[in-house]
Amino acid sequence: MTSFYDKEIATELVGRELVKRGWKLSGFHKTESDPMTDYYSQGFWCGEATNDKFPGVVIHCWRKSVPKGKMVAVYKNGLLISSFTGFYLANSRDEVPMYVDMIEKSVGSIQQNKSPATTRQLWYLHVLTKRDTRNWVLTVDQASELINKIKSGQSLAYDSNGMPIL
């Protein structure tokens, strides 16, 4: 069974690996200790990471915005793109790079417009447009762009098949 402290250690280790790879962490503090004075302060970060290479992408760890049962969630423009379990497994220093690789692979596929729109995005578009979105073929970025357009008050144009024109 994983303890609270194991999860804290894992959070710090993954945070350090993200920093090595150019991510900016909100509220990151390294572990501090002084054996001469018996002082120890566990490192931590506030659970939010961003990177200038991936605009609009935010990685959340251990926050209310992470789905129940998950440890890490990746958001793009405020919409959930992917989430991961097993974060506590990163207690082993050998596993940390592999775990962060998995997260960055998810982020990379988002940035390359390869990921199809999520069912949540299509449902949200359905609610906003009041159209049948089940057969819409969109990427995550295209769906995010359409949602942002609608939320900002812009109207959408549609082709003869009922697909939005981007």
Distances (CA, A) of 62 to 47, 83, 131: 6, 11, 36
Give the Cα separation of 89 and 77 in Å (integer).
28
Give the Cα separation of 45 and 27 in Å (integer).
5
Q: State the pLDDT at residue 1.
A: 47
Report whether pLDDT(30) > 50: yes
Contact 61, 47 (CB under 8 A): yes
29-33, 44-48, 51-55, 72-76, range with greatest mean pLDDT: 51-55
Percent of the chain with pLDDT over 70: 83
Q: What is the pTM of this model?
A: 0.59
Give the Cα separation of 147 and 63 in Å (integer).
24
pLDDT digits (tens, 9 = 90+) for 99-111: 888 888 877 766 6
48 or 161, greater pLDDT: 48
Contact 34, 8 (CB under 8 A): no
> Containing H/E element for 151?
helix 140-151
* DSSP assignment letter at 88: G
Pick from 43-47, 90-94, 96-100: least confident: 90-94
Fill in the amino acid letter for 82: S
The residues with which 73 forms a beta bridge, in sequence order, are 60, 83
Distant-in-sequence, close-in-space partners of 105: CB < 8 Å, separation ≥ 6: none
91 or 30, greater pLDDT: 30
pLDDT digits (tens, 9 = 90+) for 113-146: 567 788 888 999 999 999 988 878 888 888 888 9
Fill in the amino acid letter for 165: I
